[in-house]
Amino acid sequence: MTLALAAVIGMLAGAHTATWGMYKDAPHEGFSLWKYFRSILLATGIAVVISLLTGLDPRRAADLVVLFGSTYAVERGLAEWYKTFLRDQDQSKYFIPMQFAIFGRVVKSRGARLLAGAGYIGMLLGMVLLVLWIDRAVARPHPLLLTVLVGGIGGWISAFGGAWKDAPYEGFQTFKFFRSPFIASMYALGMSQLTDNLVLVTLAATGFTVATTETYKTFFFPSKPRGKFAGMPVQFPDMLVRRQKYIVLYVGIWLVVLGSLGRALVAR
């Protein structure tokens, strides 16, 4: 039952990321069932693995929220790593290239991209090990300042990665750079009320940061194209209408997660 429910939570996390991704990309790229369900399938497997490794039981409201956020973070990390370092794709359709680039110039050598990707994975694993060491070395309950600083790491990684990719084309935007670290730190403070595991706090805070910022950028400014499509023509105008029906699913997933958060806080 635990793993089956974990799989369901993974499906919800994957559907959440797939929906905002489709909502912003489909008018420019068209709709693909495989692309939409890819995130759902990946997140389902990730959630089961996380539940097995950490003992998170989504029958408990607090664990459900933490599992959702952690799954979100890992799925987004793997998806972005694949698109940046592994996938070969024509980049001319983008204003901002999605493949690994150095100062705005796309690295065409697949070997060089794989080497950079391996280094990036090594850095992320090193950060996880560091957080794990801090978690075990510092007595519980962890100081709130430590939780905020460590839990916000994912936001800093996102900020530096976004600036590396976007700044050569959009310029450096101070508010945009510090937005993710601030939100991640605040989420870390909240997640620490649900679990005392700093690794899970960091992962969940990162996942909810992505979910929050993408919800804001996608649905509060629906007519503004994603940065990677800035200035590019809408190739599939019918998707501007077809995509609307997915909003119900998106809002429903938010309500499930927020409802579980409310139950978890009341139970404390």
> For 214-232, what is each residue's pLDDT tens digit?
999 999 887 777 767 777 7
Kindly report the backbone phi and psi dihedral angles of residue 63, in degrees, each rounded to the nearest multiple of 5, phi listed first: -65, -35
Check if the beta carbon of residue 151 is closer than 8 Å to that of residue 191.
yes
Give exposure, 115-149, as e/b (b: 16+ Cβ within 10 Å).
ebbeebeeeeeebeeebeebbeeeeeebeeeebbe
Task: Dump pLDDT digits (tens) for 33-69.
Answer: 998 999 999 999 999 999 999 999 999 999 999 999 9
Q: How far is CA 268 from CA 60, 114, 143, in A?
A: 12, 46, 19
pTM, two decimals, is 0.93
pLDDT given at position 96: 82
Q: What would the two tokens of residue 258 be?
A: 């927020």
**What's the mean per-residue pLDDT of the chain?**
92
> pLDDT in tens for each of the 268 residues of the chain?
889 999 999 999 999 999 999 999 999 888 989 989 999 999 999 999 999 999 999 999 999 999 999 999 999 999 999 999 998 887 777 778 888 888 888 888 989 999 999 999 999 999 999 999 999 999 889 999 999 999 999 999 999 888 888 888 888 888 888 999 999 999 999 999 999 999 999 999 999 999 999 999 999 887 777 767 777 788 899 999 999 999 999 999 999 999 999 999 888 7
| CB neighbour burial string for 179-217, b if at least 16 within 10 angstroms, e if fewer | bbbebbbbbbbbbbebbebbbbbbbbbbbbbbbbbbbee
